[in-house]
């Protein structure tokens, strides 16, 4: 199972649902305000085939679980914080 590893913003989207591993999240779910971590993440993915494969497989497994129902439940959980 292989996909394309992605570097994503922590500001929006489904990053929390796609990247569920804490270590991978620290490396590849990044703030938009700082360019350095983005460059580091891309460099690491380019240079490290094992990391690229591990991260790619992680993303594919999680993406396969992203159904409309799962997405709706995740939104409901996030909205529950607001009461």
In which element (H, E) is residue 56 found? Answer: helix 49-64
For residue 12, the 8-state DSSP code is S
The 10s digit of each residue's pLDDT in 11-41 is 877 898 899 999 999 999 999 999 999 999 9
> Domains of the chain: which residue ranges?
8-80
Element (H, E) at 30: strand 29-30
What pLDDT, in 10s, does the model give residues 56-76? 999 999 988 888 898 888 889
In sequence order, the β-bridge partners of residue 9 are 30
Q: Does 3 or 70 have the greater pLDDT score?
A: 70
Structure-block tokens of residue 48: 């490290």
């Amino acid at each position: 199972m292989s996909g394309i590893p992605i570097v994503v913003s922590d500001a929006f989207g489904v990053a929390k649902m796609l990247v569920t591993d804490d270590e991978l999240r620290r490396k590849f779910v990044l703030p938009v305000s700082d360019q350095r971590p983005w460059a580091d993440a891309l460099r690491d993915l380019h240079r490290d085939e094992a990391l690229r494969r591990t991260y790619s497989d992680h993303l594919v497994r999680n993406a396969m679980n992203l159904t409309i129902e799962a997405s709706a439940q995740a939104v409901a959980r996030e909205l529950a914080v607001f009461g």
